[in-house]
Structures are given as C-alpha cells and as structure tokens.
Amino acid sequence: MFSQDQNFHIYLCLGQSNMQGSATVEAQDKVVMPRFKMMATTDCSEKGRKVGQWYQAVPPLSQCWAGLSPADYFGRTMAACTPDSITVGVINVAIGGSDIRLFNKDLYKAYTNTYPEQWFADQINAYGGNPYERLVKMAKKAQRTGVIKGILLHQGETNERDSNWPLYVKAVYENLLHDLSLSADDVPLLAGEVVHADQGGKCSSMNYIINTLPFYVPTAFVISSSGCSVREDNVHFNSAGVRKLGRRYAVEMLSILGY
C-alpha cells in the first residue's frame, strides 16, 4: 500500500484494561517527545482530540478517561532509540474487561455483554459499538501517511485458563493482516504476559497459555512481565510496572527491526 512517508512507523495496540491504561499518570509521563505521535481513536473534548486525528502522544492514548498504558513507554522508547528521521505513531483501541473475541469481526456481537454493567457497554459504544472496525478504520487512515510496522497486544485476564486463546488471537491477527493488506513477515505480533506470578498475579496462570502463542503464530513474540510491579488488585500494573513492560515491548521490536 502506498504511503507518503516510509519513515512514519505506526503500531496498532489492542487488548483489555492494562493496554487501555489503568496506571496513574505522573508528571514524567506527560513530557512531550516530538517524534512520538498518537491517533485519537475516540473523541475527547477534554483533551481537544477528534477521532482519526494525529496528536503528540501523551496519556491517555485510548479512551479519554484512561491512564498510563504500555503503549506509552513502547512509543517513547522506540522514538528515543531509532534514528532522528523516524517518527513513531501508535493507535490504541482497548476495552477493559474484554474477551479477546470482542476483537473478532465475525464473533464480536456475542461478547459485547461479557459484563452486564453500563461501564462495559460505554467502553464499546465509545468505539461505535465495534472496536475491531474502529481499529481497522483508523489503521487504514494511518496508512495514507505512514507504514504499519507491528501489532501490540495485552489481553488475557478475561480468558484465563482458556487453552483456545492462542487460536482466538491468531484469528484476530490474521484478520488485521488481511483487512489492512499486510504481510505477517513485515508486521509481527508482540503479546505481553499478564501480571506475573512473582508479583502475586491473580491471573498469572494465563501466562503459560500466552507463552504458547508463537507455536500458533510464528511471527508472534511474547513479552515477559516478570518483575513488573503491580497495583493492590494484583491484576493491573502500577505506573512503574507499566513503564517497564512498555520498554520491554520496545526492546523486542527494536531487535526485530535490527536496531
């Protein structure tokens, strides 16, 4: 697909609450890095953002009320560790509490009521009722000005102990590649572990399943959450843990790119 700028590297981010951003945003997280951009995936009048427009990347990167996400420090690290000619952009569509199948374009309607409360419906409605469609629409718009280089996933808490999770992820990944005319060889999938057992993670048993993903998706890479500190619920990373995990995504991506 034609792009106006081969040096504008774009990364798609999806998942549930940790990717959405649940950690506290601190002063250091608001420092602007000129070569790190975000595309707004929802309208946010509070931040002066309109869906589908590019802005300097400062949290929140997903929904208007969200906190700090691994995507923040992934992008910051990528911008800091790539040549000055490169601009990094992220597009983050994430839904707290979501089953991974909410991002399956053929199945999503069966997973819009995973939680019956209004807070869950409100998150989905912010993406027009179809998070996958919103991600693809934003990605296609981004392809007019840049090149999609990778896909970042952080999800699994809601699918804990479901051994079919890698197959669900594979379907979402392959749909994205097909719908955006991308090649798996050029666009790897980076999937982060949920809160690790060494941090008392309530869903840490899911990490065994997450680590099987490369057997199903050869272009998938798993990002360790070991040592990434957590909030008191032992499900969500705290600010320091989010920063560490985000940097690990970037280190893996930089290695893949040969930096």
Q: Which tokens go with 30?
A: 């608001």
CA distance 136 to 134: 6
Instruction: Give me the catalytic one of 9, 154, 196, 236.
Output: 236
Region at 114 (left for phi over 0; alpha for psi -120 to 50; beta for the rest):
alpha
Active site residue 185: no
Q: CB under 8 Å to 154, separation ≥6 — which residues?
A: 13, 15, 16, 18, 19, 70, 94, 191, 192, 194, 245
Q: What is the DSSP letter of 40?
A: -
Instruction: Give me the catalytic one of 9, 17, 62, 98.
Output: 17
Active site residue 236: yes
Active site residue 233: yes
Contact criterion met (CB below 8 Å) for 70 and 246: yes
What does 164-217 look like in DSSP terms, one character per residue?
THHHHHHHHHHHHHHHTT--TTTS-EEEE--S-GGGT-TTTTHHHHHTTHHHH-
Quick one: how far is CA 113 from the chain centroid? 21
Catalytic residues: 17, 233, 236
